[in-house]
Structure 1
């Protein structure tokens, strides 16, 4: 896609200069792959691959890079030689000799591009997630969706937009219902200072809509919202979206094999809609978590939650108190520190913070030009971004019980993260042992989300900034009293306290037997689903971002959304191909799936003794309800198509039995 972002590239520069700058600033690995596409010369893989990796006898799939080189990186001499060769073989406007490689060649190229072993099981997901191939259909398509097979999608955020695109491509009539006045979900709602994505730009986007024009390696919320707006415009989705429309309830009508969805618009008008299927795309974190602190109504200044930020709020010269230390809090603190008169940060439970040099970093113009103009450069760049943020990290939250018995960390691999974070913490505050103590978590890394530091530690070193290891006890007209009895005068209180965990239970959803989803899930306290998407007793209901489907070890919400949307399209097409009106999950299949989920989660920091108990990953009984226990490649493979033996079907034209 083209995007609406200023690329920073000098449009008046001649093509030779643009290419020269691109070669100088491009990453060497995708640059090498681009040369292979441009020339069709796979000898480049042999030549540079031999210098990068330790060859495994008998094949091209290497076992690893030279021992002296950090994982996934190219040695300086190899990188320099790749750039020199690129200047010899690349010319402006060169048409590629090689298009999408076959699976075997792709696997070889992926191994060289990542400088790591790439097993065959990863090839299909890498081809899709890097943008080389579009979504591959698995259920045969011989029946066109009829005009009365209406699908309702609730929510117009990242996943709802994705669902609309894919439903449209598959020919299903659909309507997206959105409570707010525009698309974007999280990125329409979160407009606080410093709001940004903590997953890399070139990966945190649709695999079928790569954007070469990202201005930063980690996008701001504004830039990401612009990306989503561009996608909606390209696919003409607005004509399918009803804004200002809140869904009050959804009820399965047994006699009709349809859902009745009741909505209320901004004028208070209540309407009833019929749909063959309902897709919830609300996310799991969609309701601001506003703590109930005595005295809130008495405060004479301004109290704002980061999810309800007033963009007209002026913090200049104000005494500001921020409650929280998660991803949102660190972004706010880092971005308001230069405006305020004083800044007090109140931290109940600190997170593990790690350095990330590209957080906030600008993408240089030459790299942007390479993304847009060098053959397949953007796809290989995305592949590397995904690879190093995905299943390579799977081992980190896993428990080594023998190790964990004598260490705070969960395993030797988990200990590496702990030590990296500790070293960064100590390096950031060499003369402040008090801050090191206050900012050291007492739980294992990955028990709560790892936070990439956007400048939070640097802000805490400023003279007008104070850190309090406490929480709010009460709010007075002129400030805050913390749980350790400290009074902090304030003009503005910022609640960076995140969201309440809700798996669609805010909507009254009633299934076949008259029971509501909230009842079955005990008010949302114990949500369980089949594949994180379907719930027994609720035919043709597909819950995206459902329980135990989040990729908490790596990657991002975008891949889960694509997997789940793919699956629901396959399910709907399966109904048409087999002349069924609806499908429901067999309770025993759902129970067995969740048994395996719990068994796998028992080997992780999310449920093992020593885990942080106050995070949103777990319910009050200690069960992990958010994380998916499988590798990304496992869940992606699982979601390719429905498993008929796990389902029951309602025939077309007949009432449910």
Structure 2
């Protein structure tokens, strides 16, 4: 069964007739009560339900993460049994902004600022991203866009460019779409962001089997999206873009690519959208003696399914998000597993990481109009900007604590409590797995079973790295020898902001020179002075590391690209690039904000959040809603525009 409905966008919620009463009853039993209550408002048209249950929630004891007290949840379920019948026909579709905010606050059981209303309407899947630039002119037929990469952002760009009437071509180096989810096929590979919002807001998927999707299931989702929008004919698979050069007299880019047959071809494009991500090349440390190892070695991003791990002696280097998934998945298969840990991560308990979505919840998502949209709003709300304060430093607090602030400390106490409970009888492991830096300075890990796995008799944890590799094992930096049949590198990726591509802009300037010394800068994390009509998605300082997901900012970037191109069309321009002044001022603000965070002053020994000079170059300093607001349309005063010269 396809994960994607082939016939309509998700913001069109059809009436449901001839309802399966047994399935409805089962769904009511397990449905998230806030989303169920909002669905009742849509279906009955009774907005008094909002005020009635707000009063009940206000009078109830305070809960965490917007959970409803059991008594209130039970009352909503009983009301649903009374009000829902054989037909589910909405009387209210998308409510106005005032009603929407009231409903949202009751749904998430929290206060919501006015600035979030439009953002949540879009991200909740109630309506598509709203255009801001006028649509009085259609794109010229000879205006083309090259999209580099067919992962989450590349597919998104293709869909939205096509909907806006722009001709485009997607170039994908691999023979498979999906980006990271086609590469990462290691055991236990999964998304560490909740399924129900780690997806396109315009293509909600009610059929997720788990609350956190596995890699293969997420890849299936992306394939379903590509089929629905007929993207395959517009993707050149097996095509590696080597570089692109701006040709001033043509007001276009020459894009050079090596195709699957080995030939080099040059493609003309008026605009280029890079959707290559930033974590691309596998990062493998150079260890003396690696070439002498007689066993098998592989990086998690280059997993070899032909290597049999059963009964083998395995050594894995790394304890980040990928490593914990691998360790939890293979610990019971191998003879021995040595986990090499250069620095521990903060680990949070997250029971739903490995939890299946009940059949009743999936039925509700697919069949109760607007339940899915409100379920997504609630999931997103508590996993996004609610975490914005956590990485921010309170200097007075931080002077006497490991944690950075009271908000940061609350998360640290959750992690410490989890360590206490998990290793009550293993103080040795607790000591090794307790970080000495504040949470969020490195990426937080959601435990897929790692803590249980490392307590197994055949698993050992070493606070060390490799000093040498021998034919039959590794020598640690502590001087221990560990015999090994297989070495697994769970050491992440090289962080590359287009450094693997030769990009030449106006007057022959090279992006590699502009971004030398691992110091990339971009206006809004997207456009660069001297490089007309070049749009860098997932660019420097664009990652929402405090919460949310890559999918959210990717949609924002794509929206900005389409609005920018439409601005060119409306005004008869051929090219745009940000001014140096606007870019410098934007990045000054970025640096000022990040200087107040653990991403800049986290005290970690390693990690990819900072470049070689110590600048925080990955994280976006803004709340998701603020960044979303910045990207609604281009600010003309911050750009230089070009008009093609007429013969």
d(CA) in 1 for partners of 2:159, 2:4: 20
d(CA) in 2 for partners of 1:470, 1:637: 44
Structure 1 gaps, min length 5: 6-12, 55-65
1:638 is aligned to: 630
- Could you say what secondary structure the match of 2:134 adopts? coil
* Deviation at residue 68 of structure 1 after TM alignment: 3.6
Instruction: From the superposition, tell whether residues 463 and 640 of structure 1 become closer, same or farther in structure 2 (CA, over 3 Å).
Output: same
Q: Does 1:278 align with 2:272?
A: yes
Q: Does 1:358 align with 2:352?
A: yes
d(CA) in 2 for partners of 1:572, 1:368: 39
- Kindly report structure 1 stretches of 4+ aligned residues shifted beyond 4 Å: none
User: Which among 452, 460, 463 is matched to residue 457 of structure 2?
Assistant: 463
1:348 is aligned to: 342
d(CA) in 1 for partners of 2:622, 2:428: 39
In the alignment, is the contact (CA less than 8 A) between 1:151 and 1:275 conserved in 2? yes
Instruction: From the superposition, tell whether residues 80 and 587 of structure 1 become closer, same or farther in structure 2 (CA, over 3 Å).
Output: same
- Could you say what secondary structure the match of 1:106 adopts? helix
d(CA) in 1 for partners of 2:581, 2:95: 43
1:46 is aligned to: 51
1:63 is aligned to: none
After superposition, the C-alpha distances for 1:29-77 in whole angstroms (9 at most, x for unaligned) are 10111111111111211221110026xxxxxxxxxxx444234111110
d(CA) in 1 for partners of 2:291, 2:240: 28
After superposition, the C-alpha distances for 1:575-631 in whole angstroms (9 at most, x for unaligned) are 0111101001110110000001001111111112x4324110101111000000000
Number of residue pairs matched by the alignment: 635
User: Which among 101, 110, 115 is matched to residue 116 of structure 1?
Assistant: 110
1:423-462 paired onto structure 2 within 5 Å: 423-462=417-456
d(CA) in 2 for partners of 1:530, 1:394: 22
2:549 is aligned to: 556
User: Which among 314, 330, 347 is matched to residue 336 of structure 1?
Assistant: 330
1:626 is aligned to: 618
1:491 is aligned to: 485
1:513-552 paired onto structure 2 within 5 Å: 513-522=507-516, 525-552=518-545
d(CA) in 2 for partners of 1:513, 1:559: 35
Instruction: From the superposition, tell whether residues 654 and 313 of structure 1 become closer, same or farther in structure 2 (CA, over 3 Å).
Output: farther
Instruction: From the superposition, tell whether residues 352 and 130 of structure 1 become closer, same or farther in structure 2 (CA, over 3 Å).
Output: same
User: Which among 608, 617, 621 is matched to residue 616 of structure 1?
Assistant: 608
1:193 is aligned to: 187
In the alignment, is the contact (CA less than 8 A) between 1:187 and 1:222 conserved in 2? yes
After superposition, the C-alpha distances for 1:436-466 in whole angstroms (9 at most, x for unaligned) are 1111111111000010000000001101100
User: Which among 74, 77, 86 is matched to residue 80 of structure 1?
Assistant: 74
Q: What is the TM-score with the length of structure 2 in the denominator?
A: 0.97
In the alignment, is the contact (CA less than 8 A) between 2:198 and 2:549 conserved in 1? yes
* Deviation at residue 112 of structure 1 after TM alignment: 0.4
Range 232-241 or range 94-103, more displaced: 94-103
| CA RMSD of superposed structures (Å) | 1.4
After superposition, the C-alpha distances for 1:68-113 in whole angstroms (9 at most, x for unaligned) are 4234111110011111111111124321111111111110000000
Q: What is the TM-score with the length of structure 1 in the denominator?
A: 0.95
In the alignment, is the contact (CA less than 8 A) between 1:579 and 1:652 conserved in 2? no
In the alignment, is the contact (CA less than 8 A) between 1:35 and 1:86 conserved in 2? yes
d(CA) in 2 for partners of 1:571, 1:654: 23
User: Which among 283, 286, 304 is matched to residue 289 of structure 1?
Assistant: 283
d(CA) in 1 for partners of 2:622, 2:426: 41
Q: Does 1:583 align with 2:576?
A: yes
d(CA) in 2 for partners of 1:613, 1:261: 40
In the alignment, is the contact (CA less than 8 A) between 1:2 and 1:212 conserved in 2? no
User: Which among 33, 50, 66 is matched to residue 38 of structure 2?
Assistant: 33
User: Which among 378, 394, 397 is matched to residue 384 of structure 1?
Assistant: 378
Structure 2 gaps, min length 5: 6-17
d(CA) in 1 for partners of 2:364, 2:643: 53
Instruction: From the superposition, tell whether residues 100 and 294 of structure 1 become closer, same or farther in structure 2 (CA, over 3 Å).
Output: same
d(CA) in 2 for partners of 1:165, 1:191: 26
1:10 is aligned to: none
After superposition, the C-alpha distances for 1:122-161 in whole angstroms (9 at most, x for unaligned) are 0000000000010100000111111110100000000000
Range 622-631 or range 286-295, more displaced: 286-295
2:13 is aligned to: none
In the alignment, is the contact (CA less than 8 A) between 1:601 and 1:629 conserved in 2? yes
In the alignment, is the contact (CA less than 8 A) between 2:521 and 2:528 conserved in 1? yes
Q: Does 1:650 align with 2:645?
A: no
d(CA) in 2 for partners of 1:68, 1:231: 40
- Could you say what secondary structure the match of 2:254 adopts? strand
d(CA) in 2 for partners of 1:314, 1:14: 49
d(CA) in 1 for partners of 2:376, 2:85: 23
In the alignment, is the contact (CA less than 8 A) between 2:191 and 2:213 conserved in 1? yes
1:36-435 paired onto structure 2 within 5 Å: 36-53=41-58, 66-435=60-429
